[in-house]
Structure 1
Amino acid sequence: MQGSTPGVQISSSTGRAGDGFKVVIRGNNSLIGDSSNPSLVGSSPLYVVDGVPMDGIDFLNPQDIARMDVLKDASSAAIYGSRGSNGVIIVTTKSGTSAKAGISVTFDTSYGNKVATRLPKMMSGEEWWKFHQVAYMSATPLTQTPSQLATLAGNQSPLLVSRANSGYNFDWYDAVLQSGMTENNYLNISGRSDSGLSYNIGFGIQSDRGLIENDATDKYSFKLGLNHKINDKFSTGVNVTIARLNNQLGSDLAMQDAFRLSPLMSPWAVDAQGNEKVGTLFFLPGKLTYPDGSWAINKTSTVNPLMEIANSSQTENTWQTVGNAYFQYQPLKWLSFKTTFVCRNYE
């Protein structure tokens, strides 16, 4: 849509599973919030799905979308008022109108991997240690020898000094991030009978695994479109989409904490000799202690990202239904009357 419609910008600012895209039409405005939280001030357009105004379309399976039309400028405001001031995206889902005679059954599947890209380059343990010593260059006396700077920087943290001298370097990216994946399986059944009844039925299962543990989304969708041409003048139909979303919400702070921590620290606790107890996470925010409670490293208050991930798992299960039913009377080829009943449910 971005490449084919002038003035439409689509972006994604997060790698979290299930997060949708931000759509901006003709620049930022200030009346409608982000699609994930409409109460916030932002520039998200209004979505209209099969005649029903919506705040977003993340619940739809992409395979169910037949076409998308964009209303911009005064055309959207004239129809939808202030809600359309940021533009309107009209989404039409598949119905039975385009179904061919007989029965057609198709199955589509897709799979993709996700990896974190364009991450900032972090300092190595050696670089961080030199950077850390710079903070003490202004200490009294004003001129410090390298050994004096190292002593000041490592004061009360002999383990930190030991790691710096041994070339220790911990990769927080590798500890926090994992490979993600997306998968979409879709079964479609469509057809048209001699009696004038046409139908389109779709079943979809989507999975999205994020770049951090405990971050995942599973989406199950059912799509039903029925159209019946009673005779040359009367026709009726129904279009219903039902979606079930199971979201596992992981930590939204783990990566931020990983950016803050020194490469001379790791997420693991230590024994009395300062050896890492791999598999046992330290608990106090950024303050590594020996088993007797004395400080091993006391340089930051940043939370252990792996501890944050392990304690930030919660699930959110929602149902979303949108649909319409219509009855149409066409007395002349160039004149028709259509009445439509629309419904929307979210729980």
Structure 2
Amino acid sequence: MKKSTLLLILVLFVSSFTWAQKTVTGVVKDFDGNTLPGVNIVIKGTTQGTISDIQGQYSIKVPGNDAILVFSSISYMTEEVPVGDKTEINVTLMNDIEALSEVVVVGYGVQKKSLVTGAISKVNAEDLETQQVRVEQALQGKTAGVHIMQESGSPGGGITMRIRGTSSNRDSNPLFIVDGMRTGSIEYLNPNDIESIEILKDGASAAIYGSAAGNGVVLITTKSGKKGESKINYNGSIGIQSARKVNDVLNAKQYANYYREGLRHQIEMQYFGQEIPEQLMQMQLDNAYPFNPDTLGQGTDWIKEIFTPAQIQEHNISISGGNDKSNYFFSTSFLSQGGIVGGDKSTFDRVTTRLNADHQIKDWLKIGTKVSYTHFERKSIGENNEFGGIISNAMNIDPLTPLYFADSTEIPSSYWDQITANIDDPENSALTAGENGYYGMSTLVKNEVANPVAQIANSHNNWYTDKVLGKVDLTLTPIEGLTVKTSYDIDMSYGNYIAWTPQYFYQSILYNYLSSTYQQIQRSYSWQWENVVTYDRTFGDHEFSGMLGHSMRNEDFYYIGGRGEVLLE
């Protein structure tokens, strides 16, 4: 009787749930009565939804009368409609006036978004509020067709940006324009200084910039002061970075067991498949590999030795304000990022300062200036090495090799003979690890596999860069609708790269007997002079606009480098 009652209750519950669900259909139209395809219809509070078809029709199952349907589409106001006892819901979406009247930067001017026919995406300052080290990282996932690829995980490492894929077998980087000034890259920018970013994706939108815009254009506008009292803003963060997940590797006991199994197979091959007495097999295994796996313990976990938590901190402060005639924006920032591989041998520090100011001298004359200064310091280790790199070696070197040898007597004799024959003073070379003795060297793993901790210690690669970007512009409005603007821009950078390679010995085929140093100095200077005349008037329901422009640009690049060897340690 109890089983029958339980079964009856279960059947009634399933029937009740099925009866509660129902299908709602309808048509979505705009204010003018035109059907709207591609409208998103979602049950509020869930991920269950559908989209309207080409006739604006839709059909969706809802769990009950309490459900609320949310209708949304780009450039239209979102509508929420309670289902109630209705099975047909027709909706009219109103135009989002704010979105249609939004102004975007297009070439040498601005235009309402609703009038733009080209492929342009805009990212506002609010979209960049998530703390990011680089502007490119802040754009990740913010707009369709833009792909951001980090070239390495090293602090300050390069970032590749592609707009609608690769379009050239030479250079596929987009053209970057900051406040009207062409610049080769944007890694020097502080994301907190940016007001908006426009991305011109197609040829029609970027045509005014010529062939340089073949891979798309990224237009960046930095912040300006607003009318009102001075405002001081500060934001900062301090955190710890660590690898989300690292690979598990064999410990010493596991490695030794696998190693002995490999030797066993090798010995069996020598006997052409004949059965070998176990005693003879053990004797040959012990002669070839005398270690007892049960006594080895964990050994060296090389992955844990190279991966360490690293600190990252950023501080930003800005002062802005203005009145009826003038406005200003001043900011400075400091960023320091450590590397989770390499410790203090892999760091990135950046200091930025910016001053933007405008002043209305006369009703018809306005002057403005934008100046930024950035200083970088970057230390790096070898990166993007498929084989022979630090992470690769940490995964390939055996766990039986110790991190350090206490003294030279623990170094394999064949290695020590090779070292003393080629390095005059081994005890004062890069072989030593200070109070820890000497860096461990493997005799079990060959093929250029090195001690990754020794590799980190022997990495000495430093970049120093200073960059100044500045402009001065005059804007005249002699008559209504006519604007004449002239601007002069400069882009200067100075870079200094210093690398030092000491004498080292990792194993018999991986060594460097001649210490060397290399230095490279780069200096670039470019200027740009632009004159633009625009006329924009509205006559009733008609709008007339025209532009005449003139641009001159000059670029100079200087480079010198030198290398020296056999230097004193």
> TM-score when scaled to structure 2?
0.51
Shift of 1:25: 1.4
Matched, 1:166 2:296: yes
- 1:319: how far off? 0.4
The 3 A distance-change label for structure 1 pair 129 and 202 is: same
Instruction: For residue 70 of structure 1, report the CA deviation from its aligned partner.
Output: 0.5
Q: Within 5 Å, give how 1:249-260 maps onto structure 2.
A: 249-252=380-383, 253-260=389-396
Bigger mean CA deviation after superposition, 111-120 or 179-188: 111-120
Q: Does 1:132 align with 2:259?
A: yes
More helix by share: 2
Alpha-carbon separation, structure 2, partners of 1:188 and 1:81:
36
Q: Give me the whole-angstrom Cα distance separating, in 2, the residues matched to 1:273 and 1:235.
A: 76
Q: CA deviation at 1:232?
A: 2.2
> Displaced runs of 4+ in structure 1, greater than 6 A?
144-154
Correspondence for 1:265: 401
SS in 2 for 1:15: coil
Cross-structure match for 2:309: 179
Name the CA distance, whole Å, in 1 between partners of 2:251 and 2:279.
20
- TM-superposed CA distance for 1:298, in Å, is 4.3
Q: Letter of the 1:313 partner, please give it.
A: H
Distance 1:150 1:46 in 2: 68
SS in 2 for 1:331: coil
The alpha-carbon deviation at position 206 of structure 1 amounts to: 0.9
Q: Aligned equivalents of 1:259 and 1:60: distance in 2?
A: 37
CA distance in 2: counterparts of 1:329 and 1:142, whole angstroms: 94
The structure 2 residue matched to 1:205, chosen from 320, 329, 334, is 334
User: Shift in Å at residue 333 of structure 1?
Assistant: 4.3
1: distance between equivalents of 2:473 and 2:366?
8
Residue 344 (structure 1) shift: 0.2
Match of 1:294 in 2: none
Residue identity in the other structure for 1:342: D
**More RCO (CA 8 Å, sep 6+):** 1
Q: 1:266 and 1:28, CA in 2 relative to 1: closer, same or farther beyond 3 A? A: farther
Rounded Cα–Cα distance in structure 1 between residues aligned with 2:239 and 2:363: 47
Q: Are 1:68 and 2:197 an aligned pair?
A: yes
> How far apart are the structure 2 equivalents of 1:47 and 1:145?
74
Residue in 2 aligned with 1:280? Answer: 437
Specify every segment of 5 or more residues in structure 2 that has no aligned partner in the other structure, as ranges.
Answer: 1-138, 384-388, 412-432, 495-569
Query: 1:120 — aligned with what?
Result: 247
CA distance in 2, matches of 1:145, 1:24: 64
Name structure 1 gaps, 5 residues minimum.
Answer: 34-42, 288-296
Counterparts in 2 of 1:22 and 1:152: CA distance versus 1, 3 Å: farther
User: Secondary structure of 1:215's match?
Assistant: strand
> 1:16, 1:215 within 8 Å by CA — same for their partners in 2?
yes
Aligned-pair CA distance for 1:87: 1.7
1:225 and 2:356 are equivalent in the alignment: yes
> Relative to 1, partners in 2 of residues 1:232 and 1:261: Cα closer, same or farther, differing over 3 Å?
same
Alpha-carbon distance in 2 for matches of 1:162, 1:2: 52
Mapping 1:1-347, distance limit 5 Å: 1-31=139-169, 33=171, 43-75=172-204, 77-96=206-225, 99-133=226-260, 135-136=262-263, 137-138=265-266, 139-143=269-273, 158=290, 161-162=291-292, 165-193=295-323, 196-211=325-340, 212-213=342-343, 214-252=345-383, 253-269=389-405, 279-282=436-439, 286-287=441-442, 297-300=443-446, 301-347=448-494
Q: Which secondary structure does the structure 2 equivalent of 1:241 belong to?
A: strand
Q: Secondary structure at the match of 1:75?
A: helix
Tell me the secondary structure at the aligned position of residue 230 of structure 1: strand
Counterpart Cα distance in 2 of 1:311 and 1:132: 30
Q: 1:173 to 1:305 in 2, by over 3 A?
A: same
TM-score, structure 1 normalization: 0.81
Inter-CA distance 305–91: structure 2 relative to 1 (3 Å threshold): same
Q: CA deviation at 1:179?
A: 1.0
Could you tell me which amino acid in structure 2 is paired with residue 3 of structure 1?
G
Match for 2:314: what amino acid?
N
Q: For 1:190 and 1:273, how far apart are their aligned partners in 2?
A: 65
Q: Give, in angstroms, the shift of residue 281 of structure 1.
A: 3.5
Q: Which residue pairs with 2:40 in the alignment?
A: none
Instruction: Please state whether the residue corresponding to 2:437 is helix, strand or coil.
Output: strand
Task: Report if aligned partners of 2:475, 2:486 keep a CA contact under 8 Å in 1.
Answer: yes
Total equivalences in the alignment: 320
